[in-house]
Amino acid sequence: MQVILFGLLAASLWSVASLKINLATFGDSIGNAADFVSRIFPLDFPTLGELAAMTGQTLAIVLCATVLAVVLSLPVALAAARNTAPGTALRVPARVVIVVTRTVPELVLAILFLRLFGLGAIAGILALGIHSVGMIGKLYADAIEDTDPGPRDALRTAGATWSQQITGGVIPQVMPALIATALHRFDINLRASVLLGFVGVGGIGLELSAALRTMNYQRGMALALFLVALCIAVEVLSGALRKRVLGDRMPSRATVWSRLRRWASNAQNGWVEGASGGAGQPSALRTADGEYRISPPWTGDRIGRAVYATLFAGALVASVWASDIDPSRMADGFASMWNTLGLFFPPGTGGIGGELWTQLLVTLQIALAATLIGLVVAIPVGLLAARNVAPTPGIAKGFRIVIVLVRGIPDLIFAIIVIIVTGLGATAGAIALSVGAIGLLSKLIADSVEEADVRVQHAVAASGATRMQVLLAATVRQSGPAIIAHIFYQLDTNIRAATLLGVVGAGGLGFYLVNASRVMQFDVVTMIVVMIFAVVMLLEGMAMWVRKVVS
């Protein structure tokens, strides 16, 4: 394990040096930065009506895509979970679906669906929705596997069918995970929708792409600033909504994976706690005349959930209407799907195989450098954001706010700004991704540190250890395995993101991917996807082995 970790560290340091990420590079860009600032002011915001229209279109695409992903992911997760699909006949194909959809970039899916259905919202909805199955399906499967078997066993004993066991004994337990994951994925899809605008999907991303393509930086940066504010607002609202809907069932967790698994195991069942009626039965299960209820009572919590469900249904209907989905065009597109897929297979290099392998190496360098820089900054930020490490609660809260602000800015916006300042190339991509890595790794590290067993910390402190010794010997030591897992997760994320940022000239395979789609060399697009898939699978295998060793 140490060999792998030191190897990754050496490769990351080499990547930083190779990409020339140093003070001299930043010093040379000061003049460009000053010139850029002078060119973006005054900011040229669209009219309020135009902003409302493009925001509504973007949110409609994202909401429809997220709902589609949830609908597709739930059966996939049930087939992938060991306790709901004991045999391998369903589990293996379901896991393959999860891996493939997670690996194929949403940009590639958008290129395919734009070819099938033309310009419009449907390509973005399908691209974001299908790609999201990879993450949502994995999290749902993990949550389902961690459910308490008791309720399902009781239903099976009573003669319930498989579907009744799932709807009555499994789904109620994982409902908090279902809601939390959907809201979390909505945040991610909002950021991803901006990138899809660069290939023709409507919304704010399309307007931003048009402004930058014509070098209208006043309008472009105004849209970028509005987009950042929108992403931050949606993330804050999403977090508040998760807390409001889930209440005490939504504890803070170290990682997306462990958080949702524990949400599933801590899901509360039953209608009323602590109330008992005659014959030892809960009073809430009886009506006023003593008969047993067949539905839960209309408590304040149930009324609140009904209101949220009604608002959600209304928003979904409005989103479908705003997306202007044409069934006839979809039917025509699906009818020509096999012919279109034939353009993508078999994979080919288009005569630039050597350059593709070179750019694959550049993509890896971008990801490695960004992960290292992000980790170096995220460690102190994450520690100061942890309530059990920060000197005061105010400092922890302040750093949590900083993390939310940084995470709210899409990587694409960072990349655009850095490219304008430093010029095209891989250096800009690495710097942009490193900022995003700071936000995510800081949050994951802070959550992991807060999960450390306080009894171990108290024991070390009782022996006379200093605050720093307690941090290193107890807190960080307990959080070490989780932090290592976070690093691999961030590296995996950065490899995918480095590919996509090439769309705006941030180096790597993304530039060739978009160019190949523009000249209709779709076999080259497939080859690039296969190359990225192979690298991600290799990294995933390495990460699984390391996690097994350190656990």
What secondary structure, in 3-state letters, does 45-114 show? CCCHHHHHHHHHHHHHHHHHHHHHHHHHHHHHHHHHCCCCCCCHHHHHHHHHHHHHHHHCCHHHHHHHHH
Check whether the bond before 42 is cis (ω within 30° of 0). yes
User: Is 426 a member of any domain?
Assistant: yes
* pLDDT at residue 546 in the model: 73
Same domain, 392 and 431: yes
| 544 in Cβ contact with 373 (< 8 Å) | no
Q: Is 292 in a helix, a strand, or coil?
A: strand
Same domain, 477 and 360: yes
* pLDDT at residue 377 in the model: 92
Q: What is the mean pLDDT of residues 527-549?
A: 81
| DSSP code at position 336 | T
Same domain, 315 and 370: no
Return the biggest CA–CA distance within the chain.
Answer: 82
* pLDDT at residue 404 in the model: 81
* Integer CA distances (angstroms), 91 to 82, 87, 97, 179, in order: 7, 7, 10, 23
Residue 363 has pLDDT above 60, yes or no: yes
* pLDDT at residue 276 in the model: 38
Residue 494 has pLDDT above 50, yes or no: yes
Given 287, 304, 331, which residue is the final one in a domain?
331
Check whether the bond before 297 is cis (ω within 30° of 0). no
Residue 458 CB contacts under 8 Å (≥ 6 apart), including other chains: none
Same domain, 117 and 70: yes
Q: Is 520 in a helix, a strand, or coil?
A: coil
| 344 in Cβ contact with 526 (< 8 Å) | yes
| DSSP code at position 475 | I
Give the burial string for 436-463 (b: 16+ CB within 10 Å, else e).
bbbbbbbbbbbbbbbbbeeeebeebbee
Same domain, 150 and 123: yes
Distance, CA of 293 to CA of 286 (rounded, Å):
5
User: Is 289 a member of any domain?
Assistant: yes
> For residue 60, what is the domain's CATH number?
1.10.3720.10
| 190 in Cβ contact with 234 (< 8 Å) | yes
Residue 492 has pLDDT above 50, yes or no: yes
Confidence at 73, pLDDT banded by 50, 70, 90 = very high
Same domain, 300 and 364: no
* pLDDT at residue 42 in the model: 87
* pLDDT at residue 369 in the model: 92
Please tell me which residue, 284 or 43, carries the higher pLDDT value. 43
Which two structure tokens, joined as six digits, stand for 433? 């991704």
Same domain, 76 and 156: yes
Among candidate residues 178, 211, 215, 218, the one with its CA nearest the CA of residue 194: 211
Please tell me which residue, 132 or 464, carries the higher pLDDT value. 132
User: Is 550 a member of any domain?
Assistant: yes
| DSSP code at position 212 | H
Q: What is the mean pLDDT of residues 49-66?
A: 93
Given 269, 294, 321, which residue is the final one in a domain?
269
- Write the pLDDT tens digit of every residue in 256-306: 445 433 433 443 333 333 333 444 444 455 656 666 666 767 777 778 778
Work out how many domains the chain is built from and give that number. Answer: 3
C-alpha dihedral sign at 77, 260, 448, 497: positive
User: Is 215 a member of any domain?
Assistant: yes
Write out the residue range of the structural domain in which residue 431 sits.
1-39+347-551
Distance, CA of 442 to CA of 75 (rounded, Å):
33
Which two structure tokens, joined as six digits, stand for 317? 């209907």
Given 331, 361, 379, which residue is the final one in a domain?
331
Residues linked to residue 292 through DSSP beta bridges, in sequence order: 286
* pLDDT at residue 547 in the model: 66
Distance, CA of 431 to CA of 224 (rounded, Å):
18
Coarse DSSP helix, strand, coil percentages of the chain, rounded to the nearest 5 percent: 80, 0, 20
What angle is formed at CA 500 by the lines to CA 139 and CA 112, rounded to 5 degrees?
Answer: 80
* Average of per-residue pLDDT values in the chain: 81
Same domain, 20 and 147: no
* pLDDT at residue 266 in the model: 41
User: Is 497 a member of any domain?
Assistant: yes
* pLDDT at residue 280 in the model: 44
Same domain, 247 and 327: no
Could you give phi then psi for residue 45, rounded to 5 degrees? Answer: -80, 140
Please tell me which residue, 79 or 26, carries the higher pLDDT value. 79
User: Is 202 a member of any domain?
Assistant: yes
User: Is 341 a member of any domain?
Assistant: no
Distance, CA of 245 to CA of 79 (rounded, Å):
27
User: Is 337 a member of any domain?
Assistant: no
Same domain, 352 and 485: yes
Among candidate residues 134, 102, 128, 100, the one with its CA nearest the CA of residue 113: 128
Q: What is the mean pLDDT of residues 444-450?
A: 82
CA 256 from centroid of its chain's CA atoms = 9
Residue 100 has pLDDT above 80, yes or no: yes
- Write the pLDDT tens digit of every residue in 210-252: 888 888 888 988 998 898 888 888 888 887 777 766 554 443 3
Please tell me which residue, 284 or 500, carries the higher pLDDT value. 500
Residue 316 has pLDDT above 60, yes or no: yes
> What DSSP string runs through 125-172?
HHHHHHHHHHHHHHHHHHHHHTS-HHHHHHHHHTT--HHHHIIIIIHH
Tokens 């180096």 belong to 507
Same domain, 442 and 524: yes
| DSSP code at position 472 | I
Confidence at 1, pLDDT banded by 50, 70, 90 = low
Confidence at 253, pLDDT banded by 50, 70, 90 = very low
Give the burial string for 340-369 (b: 16+ CB within 10 Å, else e).
eeeebeebbebebeeebeebbebbbbbbbb
Please tell me which residue, 457 or 354, carries the higher pLDDT value. 354
Same domain, 316 and 446: no
* pLDDT at residue 450 in the model: 78
